[in-house]
């Protein structure tokens, strides 16, 4: 019988070279979250109880687990869900998020791309055929998360990005020697401009498979369907497949790769970007005149 590394009872959960009984797995999982929050290995705390946190929740398992843990450990949170209007996928996401908000009695704000911002993603996708859907959608979500957090005076935005996400982004950036992405990737992005809100990733130490096990063991609801636009060629998904293949042969490589990257981050420092204000929306941009959000959505002015 394999024994749990913490309590020596029978181990039922096996992750790389770790093995736990169910109770000790939950302790290990929550400790990993708390280690991130306390900034272990990062030289600064990620979150304090004084900060007003906007939790970005999609309805997927990562952000639902993040929401549950931030609430459990009594952070000052409000949750934000953006309805992207992607048919059944978005309807189910909205339902999961709304039901959970009332179940755990946690404040939730919902914005609708079409109704609140007059953004039709289908139309944007068809105007930008040479760009990956996920990259367009990601840019729009990032812009709106920041804009909403800024407009509503939040101190920090928390997202559900996990270890697999961090590894894939850094691995892909290394393949391309994309120094800008390498210098920017970090679990804590401090406020660098009055209108650029601090961003944190409290699940950055945890793997996709660990979050799945935790979500199931606590019965945290989440959507099970994949975004209809994620099908086809998504290079980050392909990178994750390559990393998973390597991980099968080198157990624990994801952790050592990403944590090693964070320890060596100074190797990738680039000059701080020179920020200007977008002539349309006034938000900071590295572009000369108009920010990428306003270019993509083709807008002349914005009322958020
Ligand atoms: P993704 O880009 O879908 O991998 O999502 C990364 C993170 O962004 C999630 O863990 C959430 O924190 C946030 N997020 C994604 N989609 C939404 C959404 N529709 N509304 C609010 N936050 C979202
Ligand atoms: Zn703009």
Can you give the pLDDT of all 304 residues of the chain as single tens digits?
899 999 999 999 999 989 999 999 999 999 999 999 999 999 899 999 999 999 999 999 999 999 999 999 999 999 999 999 999 999 999 999 999 999 999 999 999 999 999 999 999 999 888 888 899 999 999 999 999 999 999 999 999 999 999 999 999 999 999 999 999 999 999 998 999 999 999 999 999 999 999 999 999 999 988 898 887 667 788 999 999 999 999 988 999 999 999 999 999 988 888 899 999 999 999 999 999 999 999 876 544 4
Distance CA 273, CA 178 (A): 15
* Ligand 1 atom closest to the CA of 137, numbered from 1: 2
- Residue bearing the CA closest to ligand 1, atom 2: 138
Q: How far is the CA of 248 from the centre of ligand 2 (A)?
A: 43
Ligand with smallest separation from the Cα of 54 = 1
Best probe residue, ligand 1, of 53, 160, 235 (max atoms within 8 Å of C-beta): 160
What is the model's pLDDT at position 233? 60
* Ligand 1 atom closest to the CA of 138, numbered from 1: 2
CA 250 to chain centre: 25
Task: Specify whether the CB–CB gap between 62 and 162 falls below 8 A.
Answer: yes
What is the model's pLDDT at position 304? 47
Instruction: List pocket residues of ligand 1, CB cut-off 6 Å.
Output: 56-58, 62-63, 80-82, 84, 138, 141, 159-161
Q: pTM for this one?
A: 0.95
- Residue bearing the CA closest to ligand 1, atom 4: 161
């Amino acid at each position: 019988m394999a024994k749990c590394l913490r309590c020596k009872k029978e181990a039922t959960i096996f992750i790389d070279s770790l093995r736990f009984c169910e109770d000790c797995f939950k302790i290990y999982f929550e400790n990993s979250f708390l280690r991130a929050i306390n900034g272990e290995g990062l030289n600064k705390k990620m979150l304090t109880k004084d900060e007003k946190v906007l939790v970005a929740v999609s309805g997927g398992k990562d952000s639902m687990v993040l929401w549950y843990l931030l609430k459990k450990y009594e952070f000052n949170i409000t949750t934000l869900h953006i309805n992207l209007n992607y048919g059944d996928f978005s309807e189910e996401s909205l339902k999961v998020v709304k039901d959970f908000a009332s179940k755990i009695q946690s404040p939730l704000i919902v914005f609708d791309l079409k109704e609140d911002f007059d953004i039709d993603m289908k139309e944007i996708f068809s105007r930008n055929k040479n760009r990956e859907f996920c990259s367009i959608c990601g840019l729009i979500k990032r812009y709106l998360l920041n804009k909403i957090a800024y407009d509503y005076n939040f101190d920090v935005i928390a997202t559900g990005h996990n270890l697999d996400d961090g590894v894939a982004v850094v691995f892909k950036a290394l393949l391309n020697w994309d120094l800008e992405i390498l210098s920017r990737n970090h679990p804590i992005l401090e406020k660098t401009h009055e209108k650029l809100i601090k961003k944190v990733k409290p699940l950055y130490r945890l793997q996709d498979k660990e979050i799945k096990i935790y979500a199931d063991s606590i019965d945290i609801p989440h959507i099970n369907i994949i975004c209809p636009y994620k099908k086809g060629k998504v290079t980050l998904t392909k990178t994750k497949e390559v990393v998973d293949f390597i991980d099968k042969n080198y157990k624990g490589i994801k952790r050592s790769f990403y944590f090693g990257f964070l320890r060596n981050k100074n190797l990738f420092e680039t000059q701080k970007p020179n920020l200007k204000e977008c002539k349309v929306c006034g938000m900071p941009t590295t572009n000369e005149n108009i920010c990428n959000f306003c270019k993509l959505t083709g807008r002349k002015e914005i009322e958020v």
